[in-house]
Structure 1
Amino acid sequence: MSSGPGADSAPAPNHPNDDAPTTSLPQQAAKGGMFSSLRVRNYRLFFLGQVVSNTGTWMQRIAQDWLVLRLTGSSAAVGITTALQFLPMLLFGLYGGVIADRWPKRRLLLITQTASGLTGLGLAVLTLSGHVQVWHVYLTAFALGVVTVVDNPARQVFVSEMVGPAELRNAVSLNSANFQSARLIGPAVAGVLITAVGSGAAFLLNGLSYLAPIAGLLLMRTGELHKPSERTPRGKGQLREGLRHVREKPDLIWPIALVGFIGMFGFNFPIWLTAFVNDVFHAGAGTYGLLNTLMAAGSLAGALLAARRGSSRRRLLYGAALLFGLLEITAALAPSFWVFALLLIPMGICGLTINVTANSGVQLAADPALRGRVISLFMMVFMGGTPVGAPLVGWVTDTYGARIGFLSGGLISALAAMGIGLALARHVGVRPKLDLRRGHEHLVFVPRDRTDQPEPAVAPAA
């Protein structure tokens, strides 16, 4: 990723005490306030453009899922659509990172945002003309996924050029708040449009919404961008170089492994929510939009809380992942609609906390010259795992019902959080310690010592 002065200082070492932050942030980042990065003009333009296009994206996402369900009557078909949209990230994600490290990010984003808008307009024409078929939706989802391969790392990396390293974590959190704010508006508008005039109007508005970020990019003052890291020239072994960098740093590989499991099995909400609305609650598109809005409200709260924090701790990431899985299990067993619906709010908080904490931690721990490749690997694992998980989760949901499908995703997420968290604790030489005394932190990690070593088999149990 590109960076400003001082951004290429060495990331924080692995601390023996898990209470230490996962990354070492400059002090001014912690003191700037919840919206400190919005003081930067270029980032304000970027942020406002993303508000508009993200709203359109959520409108299309809801309309697309509902259209596929109506055309096929199958949750597995919704899963295939989701899989096709993220399949290019799985296949080509690392190459997107290489491109982001080689080329100017602003120029790349002008190209990718234009292409994304054209995919929305193309699907709108097919739907409004009455000629849309499910394979058209599949093809459009795959095309958008191809664009995303380059757009995601370029957009993530460009944030540092706009705000610099001191405000990076705040800007990452506000980007998530931006996305989740749009998630509050988009599904509600999509529900009204689908009910009133059909899915085509939502696709049309999404295509037009990309005019806003394109205008924002064109209006930026390039002289005010932070100096990017030196561009990576063409050469052999650049993918292997990025992978080796991740493999050698626990602050990179363990968070990426965690979001891989959760992205593959825990974030299949289009499948589960459409199935619950259609098969469990026997409702329509308006209810589906409402459930997405409630989850977005929780995600927005999680993003704003993340923006207030000056640093992240490892236990926050793994604790949020464990709680996320437990909430999914609880929601799968919810006895009524409103219990299910209200559980989506804390689920959204935990899901967003996982995303922001892992994303900002990975970016700050990576070598600046390799950030494009590192963040593309992060996004490839997080988003690209969906093509593997979504059809399987869709099949389980169709075969055994919405509740079993949702419960299985939550169980895998919770087990991944516990397993990877304990593996990391052992790697850095700490162990969990429970303290139930009043006024004390109930769960802390302390250095391992000789008494922590396994006892011989003949020794009595402690």
Structure 2
Amino acid sequence: MPAAAGSTALKCDPENEQSEPNPPAWRGPYGLRAFRHRNFTLLWTGQLVSLTGTWMQGLSLPFLVYQLTGSKSLLGIVAAASLLPAFVVTLPSGVIADRFSKRRIVLITQTALLMQALALATLTFTHLIRPWHIVALGTFAGFANSMDMPTRQAMVVELVGKDDLANAVALNSSMFNLTRIAGPFVGGIVYAAVGPAWCFLINAVSYLGAIVGLLLMRNVKAAMQVRRDQPMRKQIGEGLWYVWRDKLMRNMLVMTGVSQMFLMPYGIFFAVFATTIYKVGPTGQGMMSAAVGVGALAAALGVSSLGHLYENKTIAFAGAILAPLGLLGFALCRSFHGTLAYLVVIGMGMMMFMAASNTILQVGAPAGLGGRVMSLRALVMFGLGALGSAMMGRLAEVRHVDVRGTILIGASVGLASSLYFAFSSLRSREPAALTAALASEEVGVDAD
């Protein structure tokens, strides 16, 4: 089939295109089959080390900010600062990921994040740390993450192929949530014992795990890459137009945006619950974050082992409804141990939706558009997440609303949105051949 007029021509970069050896037959558990790909195993293991440190820092920063200032609004501002760069960087980063070696890009971003964590540790060890330092370094990390996340996610399909992609996404989710349990739990203990500076330093060292894993990769198979002499604006537009015309992909992005604005900001208030409401300190805050991770890990393992029995769309809608229901219980609960139980439910719902929607977008993206599709998802997650964090943090300062009322409002909006999209999906169904037709029309790939 000839390429559509005006579409972006694709080519293989001879420098990066290498033939990946066929992976060995997998004789282990079905839910672990993506580990037959050596390069994916290296990526997974490196991220396991790196994300453990990231979660330790993620717990320490808001607790430190709240200790320094006592401001709920500033909690939202700090969270927003790390997300706002997405508005500037994310969409161009998708084109860059489709033009150049994804592994090299991720090496650069992981090194930049190591430097950010090391700067935080140095300022805290020397007692020079101020709120504006945290905001500035958070913004720097936001630029790196806005380039890192879509590129790293788009790289997965190059490492495992589309046959094992859903399993690889589920295994990544399992790893993410395993570190979400271990990182905050250990971080809370370290924070209480020796202070936040050590959490930041451990995070800096942990990035070496990801960097070493990337350096050890061999025979990385590069995807078809877009021409570098085409205008970036045009290539960004092609990615946006492709996603907009696919109803399921469009709905997943809209639901992700609602989740980031109204549901996910609940995490910025953990320091308030731990310090003011339940008075359990940093260790208790670590237990709250770990509870979310326990639920998410359980769901991720279930999706990895049994996800092939259900449509990704079904899993996504189920999770999108379960998460706000858990948040409603979390906001209304008055006991710490009951709160932990609701956080487990929230983690399960969030993981089900995020993993399934991620798979839908990656499977639906044709060769040469993976970076741009995932960059659009990152823009929605980071950009709307920044707006949501700032908005919900400010709302929590309003008299008679406070933290619990803010979470109730967000959960209600999220639940209404999820129910709407779930029922509208039941009433209409996308033509089965639409994705292949769009791929051939938009990027000049022969669908036959």
Matches within 5 A, 1:39-188: 39-188=36-185
Amino acid at match of 1:387: A
C-alpha distance after superposition, 1:413-457 (max 9, x if no partner)? 101101222333444389xxxxxxxxxxxxxxxxxxxxxxxxxxx
Q: Does 1:261 align with 2:262?
A: no
Instruction: Find the counterpart in structure 2 of residue 213 from structure 1.
Output: 210
Distance 1:2 1:94, change over 3 A: farther
Distance 1:203 1:2, change over 3 A: farther
Once the two structures are TM-superposed, the CA of residue 2 in structure 1 deviates from its matched residue by 12
Once the two structures are TM-superposed, the CA of residue 382 in structure 1 deviates from its matched residue by 2.0
Asked if structure 2 preserves the Cα contact closer than 8 Å seen for 1:160 and 1:226, the reply is: no
Once the two structures are TM-superposed, the CA of residue 217 in structure 1 deviates from its matched residue by 0.9
Amino acid at match of 1:406: I
CA RMSD of superposed structures (Å): 2.1
C-alpha distance after superposition, 1:50-85 (max 9, x if no partner)? 111000000111111111111110121111111111
Which runs of structure 1 show a deviation greater than 6 angstroms over 4 or more consecutive aligned residues?
Answer: none
C-alpha distance after superposition, 1:358-378 (max 9, x if no partner)? 000111012221111111111
Q: Does 1:272 align with 2:273?
A: no
Instruction: Find the counterpart in structure 1 of residue 418 from structure 2.
Output: 417
Unaligned runs of 5+ in 2: 1-9, 13-24, 432-448
Asked if structure 2 preserves the Cα contact closer than 8 Å seen for 1:58 and 1:183, the reply is: yes
Q: Does 1:288 align with 2:285?
A: yes
Matches within 5 A, 1:247-396: 247-308=244-305, 309-310=307-308, 312-396=311-395
Distance 1:126 1:85, change over 3 A: same
Once the two structures are TM-superposed, the CA of residue 111 in structure 1 deviates from its matched residue by 0.7
2: CA distance between counterparts of 1:269 and 1:57? 19
1: CA distance between counterparts of 2:426 and 2:236? 29
Structure 2 counterpart of 1:235, from 230, 237, 255? 230
Asked if structure 2 preserves the Cα contact closer than 8 Å seen for 1:75 and 1:274, the reply is: no
Asked if structure 2 preserves the Cα contact closer than 8 Å seen for 1:185 and 1:293, the reply is: yes
Once the two structures are TM-superposed, the CA of residue 227 in structure 1 deviates from its matched residue by 4.2
Once the two structures are TM-superposed, the CA of residue 155 in structure 1 deviates from its matched residue by 0.4
1: CA distance between counterparts of 2:66 and 2:215? 38
Instruction: Find the counterpart in structure 2 of residue 443 from structure 1.
Output: none
Q: Percent identity?
A: 32
Task: Tell me the secondary structure at the aligned position of residue 130 of structure 1.
Answer: coil
Q: Does 1:408 align with 2:409?
A: yes
C-alpha distance after superposition, 1:107-166 (max 9, x if no partner)? 111111111100000110000000000000001110000001111111001111111111
Distance 1:2 1:266, change over 3 A: farther
2: CA distance between counterparts of 1:227 and 1:182? 29
Asked if structure 2 preserves the Cα contact closer than 8 Å seen for 1:254 and 1:424, the reply is: no
Higher mean Cα deviation, 77-86 or 266-275? 266-275
Instruction: Find the counterpart in structure 1 of residue 437 from structure 2.
Output: none
2: CA distance between counterparts of 1:91 and 1:230? 23
Amino acid at match of 2:221: H
Asked if structure 2 preserves the Cα contact closer than 8 Å seen for 1:2 and 1:157, the reply is: no
1: CA distance between counterparts of 2:80 and 2:424? 30
Instruction: Find the counterpart in structure 2 of residue 17 from structure 1.
Output: none
1: CA distance between counterparts of 2:59 and 2:222? 39
2: CA distance between counterparts of 1:373 and 1:117? 25
Asked if structure 1 preserves the Cα contact closer than 8 Å seen for 2:100 and 2:225, the reply is: no
Asked if structure 1 preserves the Cα contact closer than 8 Å seen for 2:294 and 2:344, the reply is: yes
2: CA distance between counterparts of 1:217 and 1:95? 23
Amino acid at match of 1:154: T
C-alpha distance after superposition, 1:18-63 (max 9, x if no partner)? xxxxxxxxxx99x971111112111111111111100000011111
Aligned residues: 403
Distance 1:138 1:429, change over 3 A: closer
Asked if structure 2 preserves the Cα contact closer than 8 Å seen for 1:2 and 1:368, the reply is: no
Asked if structure 2 preserves the Cα contact closer than 8 Å seen for 1:318 and 1:421, the reply is: yes
2: CA distance between counterparts of 1:94 and 1:144? 17
Distance 1:417 1:232, change over 3 A: farther
2: CA distance between counterparts of 1:2 and 1:313? 31
Once the two structures are TM-superposed, the CA of residue 100 in structure 1 deviates from its matched residue by 0.7
Asked if structure 2 preserves the Cα contact closer than 8 Å seen for 1:280 and 1:402, the reply is: no
